[in-house]
Amino acid sequence: MSLMTAIARSAPLAQVPRIWRMPSADALRTYLSYALIVALLFVVGYGGANWLATQRATHLKLYFDAELAIPLLPAMIWVYLSINLLFVLPVFRLDTEELRLLGRRMIAATVAATLIFLAMPTTTGFARLDTASDGRAIFQLLYALDHPFNCVPSLHIAYSTLILTALTKNGGWLLKATVAVWLALIAASTVLTHQHHLIDILSALLLVALICLALPPAANKRPGFMT
């Protein structure tokens, strides 16, 4: 294949404008299929590893003592929970193949993180908010569903990073700036709600980078590479 032919074939794909739109039936089916798989893996993997961690007498504490001085900012819980909005956005922007790629990457992140949780159970060093006296129902629900384990890597950060970076493809500077700020706020919220430590965030970003290398877009895929 000549260089000009390669450019001609790739140029239209690179120049296709990206818009927010209602999903096609095929895109919706793809999104729901992968969302169901990821949800099941999360419940079984993350939830199972969390339960097993409660049965262990000791857990790794991978944080610096200085981090324990970071204040708790309860209002950041709403930024922390904005990940729930992120989960529904891809179907309104990505095409079917992009949804498949994102789905495969999120499956890979869930499985890899679960294996790490099982092999290396960690816990946070932060004392949890006294919800009985404070009365914050949202924290009561969070603590009931999520024990202070499964910290390294943070799946909260891994999922957020995978989704937000996927949404910026062919996006303008405003979208990319918005995404960068949103991701930074979510990362900050995991610490300021005392759910995670700094190494949890960094290890999640490393995990995402490795997954994106292992599962590249179809246009960049090498022969025999993982699909």
1 vs 38, higher pLDDT: 38
The pLDDT, as a whole number, for residue 134 is: 60
The pLDDT, as a whole number, for residue 132 is: 62
Task: Kindly state whether residue 2 falls inside one of the protein's structural domains.
Answer: no
Read off the pLDDT of each residue in 184-207 and give the average, rounded to a whole number: 97
Q: Which domain holds residue 112?
A: 24-218
Distance, CA of 120 to CA of 101 (rounded, Å): 28
The percent of residues in the chain predicted with pLDDT above 90, rounded, is 74
Task: Kindly state whether residue 140 falls inside one of the protein's structural domains.
Answer: yes
Task: Kindly state whether residue 51 falls inside one of the protein's structural domains.
Answer: yes
Task: Kindly state whether residue 14 falls inside one of the protein's structural domains.
Answer: no
The pLDDT, as a whole number, for residue 219 is: 59
What is the pTM for the complete model shown?
A: 0.87
Q: pLDDT-based confidence at 16, cuts 50/70/90? A: low
Q: What is the pLDDT of residues 43-99, one digit of tens each?
A: 999 999 999 999 988 899 999 999 999 999 999 999 999 999 999 999 999 999 999
Residue with tokens 């690179």: 14
Task: Kindly state whether residue 209 falls inside one of the protein's structural domains.
Answer: yes
Q: What is the pLDDT of residues 159-184, one digit of tens each?
A: 999 999 999 988 899 999 999 999 99
The pLDDT, as a whole number, for residue 84 is: 96
Residue with tokens 């993982």: 226
Task: Kindly state whether residue 16 falls inside one of the protein's structural domains.
Answer: no
Sequence-distant contacts of 211-219: CB under 8 A, at least 24 apart: 211/105, 211/108, 211/109, 211/112, 211/162, 212/105, 214/108, 215/101, 215/104, 215/105, 215/108, 217/98, 217/101, 218/97, 218/101, 219/10, 219/13
Q: Is the pLDDT of residue 12 over 60?
A: no
Structural domain count of the chain: 1
Task: Kindly state whether residue 211 falls inside one of the protein's structural domains.
Answer: yes
Task: Kindly state whether residue 224 falls inside one of the protein's structural domains.
Answer: no
